[in-house]
Structure 1
Amino acid sequence: MTVLNSLLAVLIVLISLIYWYIKRSFSYWSSRGVPHNKPTIPHGSMKGLGKTVSFVHFTQNYYMKFRGTSKLCGLYFFTRPIALLLDLDLIKTILVKEFAKFSDRSFYYNDKDDPLSGHLVALDGVKWKNVRQKLTSTFSSSKMKYMFPTITAVGDRLTNYLNETIKESSELEMKNILARFTMDVIGTCAFGIECDTLKDIDNDFYRMGRMAIQKPRHNQRIAFLLNDFKRLARFLRIKTIRDDVTAFFMGVTISTIDYREKNNIQRNDFMDLLIKLKNEDSQGDFTKGLTVNQIAAQSFLFFVAGYETSSTTMLFALYELALNQEVQSKLRREIQNALKKHGNFSYEMMMDIPYLDQTIQETLRKYPPFTTLRRMAQNDFKVPGTNIVIEKGVSVVVPVYAIQRDPELFPEPEKFSPERFTPEQVKNRHPMAWLAFGEGPRNCIALRFGMMQTRIGLITLLTKFEFSPCEKTLIPMVFSSSPIVLSPKDGLYLAIKPITTE
């Protein structure tokens, strides 16, 4: 009985300590005068996230509730505090002016046991800085020109595929088709391999690429925990990339490098530059070249992130053009005028269609592929004009989707209007009102490539086909619960009609 009483006493003390810890943790934002919703045990602010509430609408709800009341509001991931930024000037300060104090994204990676996880998005500190500097030249305008013919050739295959497919049905699920187009493009540019997923949907590139996005090793909550407990996770040698995905992309990278070096093959693509960096003899030192593992990680990032973001951007653009026929007609006229002016489909012609860029920018406003940006404070940071201090180690989140749908920044935010992005309109808006590619030194390094791929895809499609809604078209739009890239739930059907020329 005495033993039982002792155990009961220990249990009561333990429960009391846990209760005290949680209660103390949940007073973090209130003690600092930061507005927030009352947290619940044990989820904090995250109850229902990913189940009854999508991550997109979760951050949007907080933003709309607290904007104008403070420069930031507070969230809790379980007991861990997170700052959601609400003020555009503060966002500019953190992303650009005071970048050094918020230089890391605080994503978990384990490049020792899980080499593909050591890519540019996740790397931090000196590792990130050195790799970023080396890769920047890969995405210069001159490199884009070299890759242009490769992408247009894949565009021609897309046209042929659609011409054959619409003979059987004029209503097609476009999400899958466009994903295969961008996968073929990036597979060629990143690895020099003709994936041809438009013909062979069962090939390994398509299967592994989709698996990496749609069936990650860990669910959303585990991924958040790994981000917050990185040292412990690395000590436990926890991986984030599936073993079969790692084996495939490591194998492809090694075989591609060996083949090119043995046969002295140069293709003016992404892999070429990485091989040149490898031959600077890095020996694992990020200040010199790149190891094979590091090359594989950057190629994996380029492949997986690039195909999904560009394909969904094209998809949402076609969706809005189908619903807004007058915009589709105007854009098609602008493309046709540019073709007449330049005589053929060239890099210069592609860059000479302002209304196309406006259409893509408006698409990215309504449907940013990544709905939030994340940074972590490297030091204590006092929010200008307030007494609030963002403490070292606290993550800050920029709600991109919510900002770009703010009616005070973009009147009638649900309306699709490329005219929002005329030079005059852009000049009159706050520079942080549109963050589809991020901002500051950690913005999207491949934005030129992403824009080129999207431009080529839309030009190819709109010169050959007309798009309109059908009975299966998702109206209104419903998003997938996937936390990685914004995409429609259960695909997206459109009616497609070939354009006949006399």
Structure 2
Amino acid sequence: MVFVALVYIFLSLMGIIFFYIKWKQSYWSRKGVNYIEPDFFFGNTTAMTKRKDHRSKVFERFYRHFKSRGEKFGGVYDFFSPVLIVTDQELIRNVLQKDFSHFVNRVGYINEDADAITGNLFNLKNEKWKNIRSKLTPTFTTGKIKMMFDTMTQCIKGLEKILDENAALNDPVDIRKCLLLFNSDIILTVAFGLDVDSLKNPENDFRKQFANVFKLSLKSIIKKFISDNFPQWLLVALQFRLTNKEAEDFFIKVVKDIVEYREKNNIYRKDFMHLLIQIKNTGETADNESLNSNSTMKHLSYSEMAAQAITFYIAGFETSSTTVSFALFELALHTDIQNRLREEIQLVMKKHNNQITYDGIMEMDYLDMVFQESLRKNSTASALSRKCNKAYPIPGTDVVIEPGIEVVIPVYGLHNDPEYFPEPDKFDPERFNQENKKKIPPYAYVPFGEGPRNCVGLRFGKIQSKIAIVAIISRYKVTLNGKTQLPIKFTSNRTPAVEGGIWLDLENI
């Protein structure tokens, strides 16, 4: 009798769950919005969930589906959560800029008390985001980037040593793997003020702990599903954690030790940590060596500092490594473009005592064209996501985007749209010359986002990537090695890395 009752309860529960999911996955139908028929439970993101395709390609398909049907927007489901895909330039502008007050936040779980690392600038909401953003924005001005430039270029020697060894032995190099180590050193130096030779010692404690923060595994995928589909208030009440506690404790201790040591010994270093210390003590940054304030008020806690520094690392080392890898891949395939770029680099460097300088990089117009076209053709930002925070009637329609709905702008779809970029599969830096770039609609090219919530570190990211390109192209001729699998296929990493790696042959100049 008890067994029968349990079976009845189980079947009833399964029935309730089934009809609940079906009801959730009928949201766009009830709203009168054109949508792509979802798979039960998984929604329209099955290929992503099962790691069969990268997010950028999945959202590009959504973009093409709705645009080919003349739709300015359309509905899909991430599991059973409704997502609005936007294809129209005017609506994209509204979401990112004009009507930003309706779309202030990104989608992401945050619980600073139980999971301090989630309290980073990318995840922060509403006034807390606005407050931290206003404090961090001055750390990425041109003047601050110049201040940190010499610290960044110190890492070039380690990269050159590794590449010289490969070139001498005629060994191909997995360039993204090499650049991940190089950029790891740059970020650790600039963000934490630590000289960690990752190229020599790739298994150092810092890289291990960083890997633990957002490690991609079945457990992390399940946690991400829970954080995206369960009520935030419930997860906060349950003290749910997304990130690794050991890694969190490690980085908070590292930051605290660095700050206390610098303040005690009045140590000045031209890096991001110095600027964070200034913000912690005074609420603002200054172009000087000052660390302390007469006030006892602290504007940033150690956990907040650690969260921003870690996010700086995660955002900086992976995206930059991928961007430069794709740029070198294209340059290896197009020797005429590579030769023209090298000529510009050598000419400008000659004016600057054959050194890589900030002013020199700013003078390299063709380098900027190559960089922008690489970001266009193989964007590391697969999609821009915003969460509606107050009801938004879509102009010219009867549709109202309700609070809590995720709105996605498929960057990869925009960047490979032949309406904006004819022959999108062609690598053509001339798209971004002074004349042609004026023809590109403002919201058709958004590698760093747009509006108040764009990438705060975009200047740093550009310089960091350009330093690597200049350092490599000025010293080596690069060609594609046969170990690179063509046509390239993206892996299921956060950023669209190439399956099997991009393997290059290097020839010293």
- TM-score of the aligned structures, taking structure 1 as reference length: 0.93
Change (3 A) 1:80 1:206: closer
1:398 and 2:416 are equivalent in the alignment: no
- Counterpart code for 1:60: E
Q: CA deviation at 1:288?
A: 6.7
Native 8 Å contact 1:218 1:240 kept in 2: no
Deviations 1:243-265 (A, max 9, x none): 23213212211111111011101
Deviates more, 1:152-161 or 1:317-326: 152-161
Partner of 2:299: 289
SS at match of 1:36: coil
Matched, 1:411 2:422: yes
The equivalent of 1:308 in structure 2 is 318
Secondary structure at the counterpart of residue 303 of structure 1: helix
Where 2:77 maps in the other structure, the secondary structure is strand
The equivalences for 1:291-440 within 5 A come to 291-345=301-355, 346-440=357-451
1:36 matched to 2:35: yes
Residue 504 of structure 2: SS of its match in structure 1?
Answer: strand
Write the deviation string for residues 33-59 of structure 1: whole angstroms up to 9, x where unpaired. 222122232222233434233322211
How much has 1:426 moved relative to structure 2?
A: 1.8
Count of residues in Structure 1 that have an aligned counterpart in Structure 2: 493
* 1:448 matched residue in structure 2: 459
**What secondary structure does 1:392 align onto?**
coil
Where structure 2 has 5 or more consecutive residues not aligned to the other structure, the ranges are: 285-296
Which residue in the other structure is 2:273 paired with?
Answer: 271
Partner Cα separation in structure 2 for residue 251 and residue 12 of structure 1: 50
Q: Is the 8 A contact 1:170 1:497 kept in 2?
A: no
| 3-state secondary structure, aligned to 2:75 | strand
Matching of residue 226 in structure 1 with residue 227 in structure 2: yes
Q: Deviations over 1:155-202 (max 9, x none)?
A: 122112211233234311111111111111111111111011111122
- Alpha carbons of structure 1 residues 313 and 390: separation in structure 2 relative to 1, 3 Å: same
- In the TM superposition, what is the alpha-carbon distance from 1:85 to its structure 2 partner? 1.0
Distance 1:380 1:60 in 2: 26
Q: Do 1:73 and 1:84's aligned partners in 2 also have CA atoms closer than 8 Å? A: yes
Give 1:111 shift: 1.0
SS in 2 for 1:497: strand
2:508 match: 498
CA distance, structure 2, for counterparts of residue 362 and residue 254 of structure 1: 41
Query: Taking every aligned residue pair, what percent have the same amino acid on both sides?
Result: 38
Q: 1:69 to 1:34 in 2, by over 3 A?
A: farther
Specify the alignment match of 2:261 in structure 1: 259
SS of residue in 2 equivalent to 1:209? helix
Please list the CA deviations of residues 444-478 of structure 1 after superposition, one character each: whole Å capped at 9, or x if unmatched: 00011111111111111111011001110232111
Deviation at residue 281 of structure 1 after TM alignment: 8.3
Q: Secondary structure at the match of 1:76?
A: strand
Q: Is the contact between residue 75 and residue 84 of structure 1 (CA under 8 Å) also seen in structure 2?
A: yes
* Structure-1 separation of matches of 2:211 and 2:326: 19
Question: Does structure 2 retain, via aligned residues, the 8 Å contact 1:467–1:496?
Answer: yes
Q: Which residue of 2 aligns with 1:178?
A: 179
**Alignment match, 1:134:** 135
User: Distance between the aligned counterparts of 1:48 and 1:198, measured in 2?
Assistant: 34
- How far residue 6 of structure 1 moved from its aligned partner, in angstroms, is 7.0
Deviation at residue 205 of structure 1 after TM alignment: 2.0
- The aligned counterpart of 2:497 is 487
Alignment partner of 1:237 is 2:239: yes
- Seen in structure 2, the aligned counterparts of structure 1 residues 206 and 359 have a Cα distance that, compared at 3 Å, is same
**Helix, strand or coil at the partner of 2:113:** coil
SS at match of 1:84: strand
- Cα distance, 1:164–1:31 mapped onto 2, change above 3 Å: same
Match of 2:44 in 1: 45
The answer to whether the 8 A contact 2:373-2:431 is kept is: yes
Residue 92 of structure 1 and its aligned partner are, at CA, apart by 0.8
Select between 70-79 and 299-308 the one with higher mean Cα deviation.
70-79
CA contact (8 A) 1:217 1:240 kept: no
Per the alignment, do residues 14 and 255 of structure 1 end up closer, same or farther by CA in structure 2, a change over 3 Å counting?
closer
Choose 297-306 or 25-34, whichever is displaced more: 25-34
Mapped contact 1:88–1:433 kept (Cα < 8 A): yes
Give me the whole-angstrom Cα distance separating, in 1, the residues matched to 2:461 and 2:497.
Answer: 17
Rounded Cα–Cα distance in structure 1 between residues aligned with 2:99 and 2:247: 37
Residues 309 and 15 of structure 1, relative CA distance in 2, 3 Å threshold: closer
Q: Specify the code of the residue in structure 2 equivalent to 1:316.
A: F
| One-letter amino acid matched to 1:27 | S
> 5 Å matches for 1:88-167?
88-167=89-168
The amino acid across from 2:39 in the alignment is T
Paired letter, 1:23: K
Letter in 2 for 1:247: D
> How far 1:131 sits from its partner (Å)?
0.3
Structure 1 gaps of 5+ residues are none
Output the amino acid matched with 1:410: F
Does structure 2 conserve the Cα–Cα contact (< 8 Å) formed by 1:466 and 1:496? yes
For structure 1, which segment, 158-167 or 307-316, has the greater mean C-alpha deviation from structure 2 after superposition? 158-167
* Pairwise CA distance, 1:221: 5.1
Provide the rounded CA distance (Å) in 2 between the counterparts of 1:281 and 1:312: 34
Per-residue CA deviations over 1:52-74 (Å, capped at 9, x if unaligned) read 33322211111111115221111
| Equivalent residue letter for 1:276 | Q
Instruction: Determine the C-alpha separation between the residues in 2 that align with 1:217 and 1:58.
Output: 20
| SS in structure 2 of the partner of residue 266 of structure 1 | coil
